[in-house]
A and B are shown apart, each in its own frame.
Chain A
Amino acid sequence: MVAGSASLTSDKTMSLLDLLNSLLFDHTIRTVALGTATLGIVSGVLGSFAVLRKQSLLGDALSHAALPGVAIAYMLTGSKSPAVLMLGAGAAGVLAILLLINITRQTRLKEDSVLGIVLSVFFGFGLLLLTFLQRNPDARQAGLNTFLFGQAATLLTRDVVTMAIFGGLALLFVAVFWKEFKLLSFDREFGASLGLPMPRIDMLLTTLLVVAVVIGLQAVGVVLMSAMLVAPGAAARQWTNHLGRMTLLSALFGALAGVAGALLSSLGTGLSTGPVIVLCISVIVLFSLVMAPNRGLLWNYLRQWRNRRRLRTEAVLENIYLMSSQHDDPSHPHAITALEAVSGAGNVRRSLEELQRRGLAVPYDGNKWALTAEGVRAAQTRLQPAQKDEK
């Protein structure tokens, strides 16, 4: 994004240099970028598992559920310290998980309904507490509102250090319990049959997801946080079939979006960082969905197109052969119009030219075509199994 606009004019090149300059030397911007990169890495890694376990909605529910925790932590302590508010958010997240697990187990409601209920009840309660607190000028100053949409510009060095410590711990847990998390995500019941405590492993992974949410709250906010959990993993899945590489790539995408978002919003255009970060990761997702080899839309389209052309060409090859075999000479030339009548739709001339490139057919006096000896053989091998079936 940045690189693309940089090549347009020298003016833009200046701004790219400025951006790099500020990333390296401007303390505030560097702090914000470090913070959003940390958030991108942690949510990228844990989000990979959420994506693979088809639990995208869980991240959404957990981030919304954190809001009342922030408000209650402030009401109880009167502290504006991010560490305290994050602790409150984390506690609310864990409470939400426990509710989720128990409601799903005790009632006949399906998990997605329970997620929806927990999400809206917690978020509604959080909004209620926020509006109540707004009447108190101290609370307004505490900037609790920023937890809704995030305000990365308020990140201080100590916030980033806190984020890095919690995030580092979460990543350490992922490294230590890597094979258990992989087993949980791929085949939970088999893991249980091995005697591994799958419910506890699940609880641990989900708690780590809460940690990722809490880390992102201040910068991105509860509403957009779910995008940071789902998008990097979804984009990374497009590029690789290997869990480890997918997780690393997801972390890289998250970090890239974090830094790009922080820099773009620092241009002084008044854009808030959270939404810009989410837009950046969305661009990465879009690019991955379209361009990735094997799984990408463009790739699929090309593959289909190639297959269709191959099938059409082979149909024309068979048709010339079948028409010629009504004569004694298998390489008897035929007019294109006759072939068009037999082959139906599709561009017969293009198929013939393709056959000519492969040395299977040759044109005669412009509008007539015949098979070469090679072409006759190719048509015979293609038709043989079909004729066997008929017997």
Chain B
Amino acid sequence: MDADKLAVQVADLTVAYQEKPVLWDVDLDVPQGVLMAIVGPNGAGKTTMLKAILGLLTPAAGHVSIFGKPYQQQRSLVGYVPQRGSVDWDFPTSVLDVVMMGNYGKLGWVRRPGAADRRAAQSALEKVGMADYADRQISQLSGGQQQRTFLARALMQDAQVYFMDEPFQGVDATTERAIVDLLKELRAQGKTVLAVHHDLQTVPEYFDWVMLLNVRRIASGPVNEVFTDENLRAAYGGRVGFLNKRQDHEPA
């Protein structure tokens, strides 16, 4: 594949906490405009991989490029949705305020968000079905609403590539629907999404690409090519009781 066309290219990424490697020599090529699920058992290094790609922790080795250039130069093209549980939702601030944080990187020093940022944040909230919650104190949100607030903040970044850490974790049906619609809209706009995902059964329905990870990369590519029983067994070991159920679930 031509390197310029790749939205994300990861080479030899290795991360170790103390001596134990949590991510070993991972290579990953993601073309533009795909929705990629990152799946793997607990402790497989999914979150670690996202954080290493985003430079939030220092890898022992490896290189990340976005659209053919080193990540550090392309940061403005990248959006991030952290795990919902990573912040204190009792922080004294409003939904709109959190969404506007998505623009802090582009605002620069000293400047405060203005009326234009406010409007942009409001329209990002509309896209996730949260338009009526702009002034709500964030501690009053349900889990699904918290997740949608984080998604709106990422939309505010107006990025080309989005990294999402378990966007579907513990959300209600409305939110799940809203996220799926949003992912499809992003893909239609030619954006690329990499999302850590836990529910194997919905992978073929929600995503078109998948990466199977367990410290090493087991496989990555289009869902219909690499989301196979063999690869899943390699990633999850023997614990894949869901495989038979998956047959029933697959769209007819």
Interface residue A324 (Cβ < 8 Å from any Cβ of B): no
- The answer to whether residues A196 and B56 also contact, given A189-B86, A190-B80, A241-B139 and a CB cut-off of 8 A, is no
Residue in contact with B78 in the complex, picked from A52, A179, A193, CB distance below 8 Å: A193
Closest B residue to A53 by CB, please name it.
B88
- The answer to whether residues A190 and B101 also contact, given A176-B110, A178-B112, A179-B112 and a CB cut-off of 8 A, is yes
Note all chain B residues with C-beta closer than 8 A to A242: 92-94
When chains A and B are docked, how far (Å) is the Cα of A137 from the Cα of B112? 55
Q: Is B104 touching A246 in the complex (CB atoms < 8 A)?
A: no
Q: Kindly provide the distance from the CB of B53 to the nearest chain A CB, expressed in whole angstroms.
A: 10
Q: Is B78 touching A182 in the complex (CB atoms < 8 A)?
A: no
Note all chain A residues with C-beta closer than 8 A to B18: 108
Segment 2-31 of B: residues with Cβ below 8 Å from A:
18
Q: Is A186 touching B98 in the complex (CB atoms < 8 A)?
A: yes
Interface residue A237 (Cβ < 8 Å from any Cβ of B): yes
Note all chain B residues with C-beta closer than 8 A to A192: 54-56
Indicate the size class of the contact surface on chain A: 20 to 34
Interface residue B82 (Cβ < 8 Å from any Cβ of A): yes
Closest A residue to B110 by CB, please name it.
A176
Note all chain A residues with C-beta closer than 8 A to B153: 190
Q: Is B92 touching A191 in the complex (CB atoms < 8 A)?
A: no
When chains A and B are docked, how far (Å) is the Cα of A83 from the Cα of B86? 42
When chains A and B are docked, how far (Å) is the Cα of A195 from the Cα of B137? 27
When chains A and B are docked, how far (Å) is the Cα of A240 from the Cα of B56? 32
Q: Is B86 touching A193 in the complex (CB atoms < 8 A)?
A: no
Note all chain B residues with C-beta closer than 8 A to A190: 80, 82, 101, 153
Note all chain A residues with C-beta closer than 8 A to B157: 194
Segment 170-201 of B: residues with Cβ below 8 Å from A:
none
Residue in contact with A243 in the complex, picked from B93, B105, B109, B112, CB distance below 8 Å: B93
Interface residue B75 (Cβ < 8 Å from any Cβ of A): yes
A167-187 interface bits toward B, Cβ cutoff 8 Å, 1 = contact, 0 = none: 000000000111110110111
Q: Is B104 touching A185 in the complex (CB atoms < 8 A)?
A: no
- The answer to whether residues A52 and B101 also contact, given A176-B110, A179-B107 and a CB cut-off of 8 A, is no
Q: Is A189 touching B92 in the complex (CB atoms < 8 A)?
A: no
Note all chain A residues with C-beta closer than 8 A to B88: 52, 54, 186
Q: Is B92 touching A52 in the complex (CB atoms < 8 A)?
A: yes
Q: Is A196 touching B137 in the complex (CB atoms < 8 A)?
A: no
A184-208 interface bits toward B, Cβ cutoff 8 Å, 1 = contact, 0 = none: 0111011111111000000000000
Q: Is A196 touching B93 in the complex (CB atoms < 8 A)?
A: no
Interface residue B113 (Cβ < 8 Å from any Cβ of A): yes
Interface residue B115 (Cβ < 8 Å from any Cβ of A): no
- The answer to whether residues A196 and B101 also contact, given A52-B92, A189-B56, A243-B93 and a CB cut-off of 8 A, is no
Segment 82-129 of B: residues with Cβ below 8 Å from A:
82, 86-88, 91-94, 98, 101, 104-105, 107, 109-110, 112-113
Note all chain A residues with C-beta closer than 8 A to B93: 182, 186, 241-243
Closest A residue to B75 by CB, please name it.
A195
Note all chain B residues with C-beta closer than 8 A to A195: 75-76, 105
- The answer to whether residues A179 and B92 also contact, given A186-B87, A189-B82, A193-B78 and a CB cut-off of 8 A, is no
- The answer to whether residues A194 and B92 also contact, given A179-B112, A189-B56 and a CB cut-off of 8 A, is no
Q: Is B91 touching A186 in the complex (CB atoms < 8 A)?
A: yes
Note all chain B residues with C-beta closer than 8 A to A176: 109-110
Q: Kindly provide the distance from the CB of A348 to the nearest chain B CB, expressed in whole angstroms.
A: 35
Q: Is B86 touching A52 in the complex (CB atoms < 8 A)?
A: no
Q: Kindly provide the distance from the CB of B101 to the nearest chain A CB, expressed in whole angstroms.
A: 6
Segment 45-80 of B: residues with Cβ below 8 Å from A:
51, 54-56, 75-76, 78, 80
Note all chain A residues with C-beta closer than 8 A to B56: 189, 192-193
- The answer to whether residues A52 and B112 also contact, given A187-B101, A190-B101, A196-B104 and a CB cut-off of 8 A, is no
Note all chain A residues with C-beta closer than 8 A to B78: 193
Note all chain B residues with C-beta closer than 8 A to A180: 104, 109
Q: Is A194 touching B104 in the complex (CB atoms < 8 A)?
A: yes
When chains A and B are docked, how far (Å) is the Cα of A179 from the Cα of B76? 18
Note all chain A residues with C-beta closer than 8 A to B51: 189
When chains A and B are docked, how far (Å) is the Cα of A52 from the Cα of B87? 11
Note all chain A residues with C-beta closer than 8 A to B87: 186-187
Q: Kindly provide the distance from the CB of B4 to the nearest chain A CB, expressed in whole angstroms.
A: 22
Q: Is A187 touching B86 in the complex (CB atoms < 8 A)?
A: yes
Residue in contact with B82 in the complex, picked from A52, A177, A183, A187, CB distance below 8 Å: A187
Q: Is A191 touching B112 in the complex (CB atoms < 8 A)?
A: no
Q: Kindly provide the distance from the CB of B206 to the nearest chain A CB, expressed in whole angstroms.
A: 23
Q: Is B92 touching A237 in the complex (CB atoms < 8 A)?
A: yes
Q: Is B104 touching A179 in the complex (CB atoms < 8 A)?
A: yes
Q: Kindly provide the distance from the CB of B52 to the nearest chain A CB, expressed in whole angstroms.
A: 12
Q: Kindly provide the distance from the CB of A288 to the nearest chain B CB, expressed in whole angstroms.
A: 14
Counting chain A CB atoms within 10 Å of each CB, which of B54, B82, B93 scores highest? Answer: B93
Q: Is B92 touching A241 in the complex (CB atoms < 8 A)?
A: yes
Q: Kindly provide the distance from the CB of A251 to the nearest chain B CB, expressed in whole angstroms.
A: 15
Closest A residue to B51 by CB, please name it.
A189
Note all chain B residues with C-beta closer than 8 A to A186: 87-88, 91, 93, 98, 101
15 A–B contact pairs at CB < 8 A?
A54-B88, A176-B110, A179-B104, A179-B112, A179-B113, A183-B101, A187-B87, A189-B51, A189-B86, A190-B82, A191-B104, A194-B104, A241-B93, A242-B93, A243-B91
- 18 additional contacts (CB under 8 A) given A52-B88, A195-B76, A240-B92: A108-B18, A179-B113, A186-B91, A186-B93, A186-B101, A187-B82, A187-B87, A189-B51, A190-B153, A191-B101, A193-B56, A194-B104, A194-B105, A195-B105, A237-B92, A241-B137, A241-B139, A243-B91
* Chain B residues within 8 Å of A, Cβ to Cβ: 18, 51, 54-56, 75-76, 78, 80, 82, 86-88, 91-94, 98, 101, 104-105, 107, 109-110, 112-113, 137, 139, 153, 157
* CB-CB nearest 5 A-B residue pairs: A194-B105, A193-B80, A241-B137, A195-B75, A241-B92
